[in-house]
Structure 1
């Protein structure tokens, strides 16, 4: 399905809230007020995140909370940050067991949020990011008319002028999937860096934009259309 403006705006806002929550917990000012007392042993990671964020909502800053109707998507995004975007530093002082409280994967990582570091994508992740782009463009072509032949699809993927729109639109698609409990692995980290990083670090002033996602998808649709018409060189 092509992007819907309201849906993209919503998921970008939830992404910002989930990241803000991770930063807030990691910085430690409110750790003592957070409740880890409910066991999540029988829950999935996303289910544990949903239960925890709902139960602790009254202790969280406003900018890190989602509306009740957005809780499932918010929890999925938050859980994905803990597992996909970050890795836990190894430390001999880190303990995963306690006589009280929950130490499921979600709670253990959240308790140790200050020890999380940005995951570094490898060559395999680079290949996965290209696969994501290919699947996105292929699906978009089918949805907007008819499938593209492999050579035509490769021509779009390898067009330098479409590099940023491809990365941005594919990231938007994967962000939607991320909010719907679909895990896509480290390929999304590559997409994120392609749209937001410059010279090895986050580009100054960068803000994820739903409008940019919509414009990027429009550029890809135009490329698909001109390819069908034989107008692309």
Structure 2
């Protein structure tokens, strides 16, 4: 049965989409991503509050084998929403350890930062110095952004190959010249990277750049209402497939 507003050609494309992204696979990957992120925040909070040493936190957050050993030993002490099913421990820990390469730095001596309630005013009268958190988001370089751009191009090429469509640089650029096209390509590239991360493969901060392409507002600020859903990847690929086929015919 076609959904409202869905054409027969769209339905056929959706059926073919399963060759690249399976909804059930994506749901499992997103669950691992969210749980491992919560664990990272929990570990970092432990360092900030002093009940976990920096060396312990850094070692278990960087090495999959060490993370597995620690997770199995402390499984019942970890918040339920930040731990995996027992049969997913290996993939979970592999994913967990990619965060310190892709998105965050865990600083032993983070220093201090100026704090203002609700970021209202940072003058000396309205703000004061507080200890900075040990876990801090990586700063993106121009190289990271170029790498993210190349990952988007690769993602579009993957779709074109699966679709059997010849692809020229002009066709790729026509997709990336639009905000929607950039978001779609970023989602597809991010989806491919999720598969790598459960094997412990960390691409680097370019993945953070991809994330901000669809999880942040176009103005460059975080979107607090954003929630990653498996259907987003499918819809993104559907849109890119439409663009590739329509540009050729």
Aligned match of 1:184 in 174, 196, 203? 203
- Corresponding residue of 1:68: 86
Structure 1 residue 11 and structure 2 residue 29: aligned? yes
Contact 1:11 1:176 in 2 (8 A): yes
Structure 2: segments with no counterpart, 5+ residues: 1-18, 112-132
Q: 1:31 to 1:16 in 2, by over 3 A?
A: farther
Contact 2:101 2:202 in 1 (8 A): no
The whole-number CA distance in structure 1 between the counterparts of 2:50 and 2:230 is 32
Q: 1:154 to 1:190 in 2, by over 3 A?
A: same
Correspondence list, 1:132-147, <5 A: 132-147=151-166
The whole-number CA distance in structure 2 between the counterparts of 1:92 and 1:204 is 25
- Corresponding residue of 1:59: 77
- Corresponding residue of 1:150: 169
Structure 1: segments with no counterpart, 5+ residues: 94-113
Contact 1:157 1:163 in 2 (8 A): yes
Deviations 1:76-134 (A, max 9, x none): 221011232111335299xxxxxxxxxxxxxxxxxxxx512010111001100011011
* Superposed displacement of residue 55, structure 1: 2.7
**Stretch moving more, 209-218 or 160-169:** 160-169
The whole-number CA distance in structure 2 between the counterparts of 1:4 and 1:211 is 10
Partner of 1:49, secondary structure, is: helix
* Superposed displacement of residue 219, structure 1: 0.9
Q: 1:91 to 1:31 in 2, by over 3 A?
A: closer
Task: Name the count of aligned residue pairs.
Answer: 205
- Corresponding residue of 1:175: 194
The runs of at least 4 consecutive aligned structure 1 residues that moved more than 3 Å come to: 29-34
CA RMSD for the aligned pairs?
A: 2.8
Contact 2:29 2:195 in 1 (8 A): yes
The whole-number CA distance in structure 2 between the counterparts of 1:142 and 1:18 is 32
**Stretch moving more, 136-145 or 81-90:** 81-90
The whole-number CA distance in structure 2 between the counterparts of 1:172 and 1:89 is 29
Q: 1:77 to 1:31 in 2, by over 3 A?
A: farther
* Superposed displacement of residue 33, structure 1: 8.4
